[in-house]
Amino acid sequence: MKIPYNRLCVGGDVLFAARGGKIHTFNLQDGSHISTWHHPDVELVANAIKELEEAGKQDAPAADLVIVPTPDSDEPPAKRQRLTDDEAASAAEGTAPVPPSDVQESGAQPDAGGTKGQGEKKNKKNKKTKQGGEKKTTVSRVPDRPVITHLVGTSDGKHLVVITGHDKTIWVFDHDGKGNISQFSKRTMPKRPSAVALGPDSQIICADKFGDVYALPLLGTTFSKPPSAAPLAPAKSRSKPEANAFTVHSQRNLRALAAQERKLELAGRSKGAPPAAKTEEPQFEITLLLGHVSMLTALALGESEGRRYIVTGDRDEHIRVSRYIPQAHVIEGFCLGHKEFVGDVVIPPGRPEVLVSGGGDEDLFAWDWKSGRLLSRTSVLSLAQELSAETSKVSVSALSSFLYPTEAGKAIYILAIAEGINAIFSWQLADDNSFKNPSIIQLPGMPLHLTPAHAENTPPRIIGAIDPGEEGQAKSLHVFSLVDSNGRLSVDQDVTVHDSAVEADELDVSAADVRRLLYNTESLRKYSGETGEGAEGAEGEEGQEAEEDPGAVDES
């Protein structure tokens, strides 16, 4: 099967649609394909598949491709994997260079003048022989398949902000207004971004899975040489941790706090020792705004009485309201009521004082986000059970909102999709901020993302990125024209956007790869043994970073 579209954004009459590591642009008027941008790693994976095919290994899964970059490669660290006998022999002969760190990981030491390291001797004892010869085993780098995780455009349509999760990179593209994009900047973040929003002052507000929120200038670029006038990294030297035992409650973060205190104590004792090698810092303008003690999952920007705010949701059921730059350290309040993770939040157009949130709970919530007061709630689970009575839980992965023109004025609609459920759920947000007229729009596949498309004097359209599944009967990109029937939404017309040449150029992937790459909302749910703030999620890499890195602790 082909990897489906998973992120969408509309700018005027242009649709930006991401699938895997590519961005395709389409004309919304006639559905024609305009242009394609692809991540450099897309070509890397494609070349690796070609090499395997030429070597007669057509059955090797794409997820297990072995790629060894050159020593001067600027690719980020990737997973390690054992090679076959032939590949190990090639690496040993020098035809496939293996980084020293990779060799050490397997227990073998690099050959330095014929001297054998202790790790190699120990590894020799455990190696099995085959046909009287010693079996050589080593490891190599295996790149993650590139996936675009976020895609947002500026209000004027002149720029596009893209996040690729596997390499923790924020890309900014110039848009000519006709569907052609060109790269303006590329910035690799300290931790993997998990949510993004664009501020009215040309700032990229980015939340990450480590619990921090950063600000970057939209049109900022990487410095060739760091300026001496101001530090580039948000970190600052401290004599004591910012957090303490009263602000940290989970066992994981208590351990991180203890490790941070030990590190600072040792640093104080060894002032006379030679300075340790500095860790590489981001060489671009970046400002740390605020931090949670849990993985951030949702982000929105609000405004009230002329003052701007940052609204953040996390895996630990919290929605926090903080002031905007330059007072982002000031916490204005919390919206507390979720019992499960917060999956997404949205501030509806025309109702700036209201925040709608959803996630692992059975309900959607409507808040007066400034005061933290719960206004109303409605059941998502009951709608899901109308489709399948066996459904016992829902995981809201995305929320959207738009205005529908009616004779009585513009009605506000809230749309929600839940992971693994073939439907769009919709409600009308009434004047008293309650959810009215629930409806279900059934889909031919699993929805991955939604975005509204507005046009003058016409009913709104919703564009959906859908996973058609292994059968591949449905198309991945749909444009739904909506109609309002007594306050309930239904589909008047469903048009698929499809280009055969684009489809043919995509690499085949397994259904397991699609689930691993694109279905990550339900994994935020905590199960037995995971309690309290900051409990590790199924995201092994980030959870492990949070436990080992003392910087995981911050004031909430």
CA 395 to CA 358: how far, in whole Å? 8
- Cβ-count burial 534-543 (b if 16+ within 10 Å, e if not): bbbbebeebb
Q: What is the mean pLDDT of residues 371-387?
A: 97
Summarize the confidence of residues 363-373 as an average pLDDT.
97
Q: Where are the domains of the chain?
A: 7-54+143-221+282-524
Where is pLDDT greater, at 521 or 248?
521
Between residues 204 and 546, which one has the greater pLDDT? Answer: 204
pLDDT of 353 strictly over 90: yes
Percent of the chain having pLDDT more than 90? 54
Better-predicted residue by pLDDT, 296 or 405: 296
Cis check: omega of the bond before 69, within 30 degrees of 0 = no
This prediction has a pTM of 0.74
pLDDT of 516 over the 50 cut: yes
87-101, 141-155, 165-179: the lowest-pLDDT one: 87-101
How many CA atoms are closer than 13 Å to the CA of 406, on its beta-carbon side? Answer: 18
Span 180-186, average pLDDT: 95
Q: What pLDDT does 535 receive?
A: 43
User: Which of 232-246, 370-384, 528-542 is predicted with the least confidence, judged by mean pLDDT?
Assistant: 528-542
DSSP state, residue 110: P
Average pLDDT of 301-324? Answer: 96
What per-residue confidence (pLDDT) applies to 346?
98
pLDDT over threshold 80, residue 19 = yes
Per-residue pLDDT for 98 more than 70?
no
Mean pLDDT of the chain, nearest integer = 79
Q: Is the pLDDT of residue 301 over 90?
A: yes
**How much is the pLDDT for 281?**
61
pLDDT for the residue 547: 37
Q: Check whether 166 has a pLDDT greater than 50.
A: yes
pLDDT number for residue 144:
73
Q: Domain spanning 7-54+143-221+282-524: which superfamily?
A: YVTN repeat-like/Quinoprotein amine dehydrogenase (2.130.10.10)
Vertex 186, ends 48 and 214: CA angle to 5°?
125
Strand 33-38 and strand 79-82: pairing?
A: unpaired
Considering only 8-22, 35-49, 59-73, 533-547, which range has the smallest mean pLDDT? 533-547
Q: How confident is the model at residue 138 (pLDDT cuts 50, 70, 90)?
A: very low
Q: What is the mean pLDDT of residues 294-322?
A: 96
pLDDT value, residue 474 = 81
CA 245 to chain centre: 31
Lowest-confidence segment of 4-13, 55-64, 77-86, 186-195 by average pLDDT: 77-86
Integer angstrom CA distances of residue 362 from 337, 385, 395, 425, 442: 12, 11, 8, 13, 19
> Confidence class of residue 312 from pLDDT cuts 50, 70 and 90?
very high
Residue 231, pLDDT above cutoff 50: no
270-297 confidence digits (pLDDT tens) = 555 555 445 456 788 999 999 999 999 9
pLDDT at 539 over 60: no
Q: 430-458 burial, b if ≥16 CB within 10 A, otherwise e?
A: eeebebebbbbbebebbbbbbbbbeeeee
Question: Residue 95 corresponds to which tokens in the numbers above?
Answer: 């035809």
Query: Which tens digits make up the pLDDT trace of 37-71?
Result: 999 999 888 887 777 777 765 454 544 444 444 34
pLDDT in tens, 423-460: 999 999 999 999 999 999 999 999 999 999 977 667 78
Report residue 555's pLDDT band, with 50, 70 and 90 as the boundaries. very low
Q: Assess contact for 369 and 353: CB atoms under 8 A.
A: yes
Which one-letter amino acid corresponds to residue 323? Answer: R
CA–CA gap between residue 413 and residue 402 (Å, rounded): 6
pLDDT on residue 236? 44
Q: How far apart are CA 197 and CA 231, in angstroms?
A: 24
